[in-house]
Amino acid sequence: MGKISVIIPTHNRADILPRAIRSVQNQTRPVDEIIVVSDGSTDDTEEVVKRLAKEDKRIRLIAYHPGHNGNYARNQGLAAATGEFIAFLDDDDEWLPRKTELQMEIFEREPDVGLVYASQNCIYEDTGVSYQTQPMMRGDLSQSIFIRGEMGTPSQVMIRRSVLEQTGPFDLELGALQDYDLWIRCCLVTKVDFVPEPCINYYNSSGTNQVSSNTEKYIHARLYIREKYRKEIAKYGEDFERKIDTLVENRIAERCLRNGQNGEARRHAWKAWKIRKSKISFLLICASVFPYTFIVRVRSLIKSRKLYWRIKGLWS
């Protein structure tokens, strides 16, 4: 079986980082190296990692100052990794025990698959709301990846090193969506599969205290990615291009809702509606009159009652 390298970027999370590391150590299919990259941490992060490394020789620490960002840290980890398979874990998330086992079963069964992602539990700690994501996309996603970024967060993904050698690392020109950008490049060169059961606890916040600059970075990233893959998108025709342009505006509207910028959300959803009328644009316009916490609760209720599959087609 191939060697697995795990990369954990971190910044000033000495209090919760051990939870992430323990979740890797507790895998039923053991990993071979755990690379913790401290991105300019000024708390006790480095001391905590060094202490854990004394007990587990698989743990390696990379530390530097000043800090850059999480994807710079992931690229530093990629440069140091020696495994045939690369997995990521954010410092505030945790893996469930069978994650690597279930993903490696797919890699060993399907040699033409270069990326395997997994379902996760999305947990909003401040509201008590949680729900499970529903993976749907597998196989050749070279076209559909532009419609849905189904791979999710880095914590959900494991990739063959041979694929990353073709795609290159995370694009540091992006201030957001660097993971989605990498998943696009992976889908252009390899097939994809997924583990349907939850393998990650992803901790999130539905609060509305995000600063507007976060929205601005997200908008820039969406437009940057649209331009970066203009040729790949154009080959599927003008209708597909309009569909992508509508999606870009809808995704921006969703982010504005999440950041409590309901007026901006409504403006982008209306812009999407004018490009190409869709049910999601209409729903976003309606949703813009409610706080995001209400939307999260409705989404959780829908999924818990197993209506998710019935309405999934609306979000396209």
List the pLDDT tens digit at each of the 316 positions of the chain. Answer: 699 999 999 999 999 999 999 999 999 999 999 999 999 999 999 999 999 999 999 999 999 999 999 999 999 999 999 999 999 999 999 999 999 999 999 999 999 999 999 999 998 877 778 889 888 899 999 999 998 877 889 999 999 999 999 999 999 999 899 999 999 999 999 999 999 999 999 988 644 343 445 889 999 999 999 999 999 999 999 999 999 999 999 999 988 988 888 999 999 999 999 999 888 888 888 888 777 666 666 556 555 554 444 444 444 4
Residues 6+ apart with CB under 8 A from 110: 191, 193
Residue keyed to tokens 């994809």: 192
Q: How would you class 85 by CB atoms within 10 Å of its CB: exposed for 0-12, middle for 13-18, buried for 19 or more?
A: buried
pTM: 0.85
Integer distance in angstroms from the first to the last C-alpha of the chain? 39
Instruction: Extract the runs of DSSP E, i.e. beta strands, from 13-109.
Output: 33-39, 59-64, 85-88, 94-95
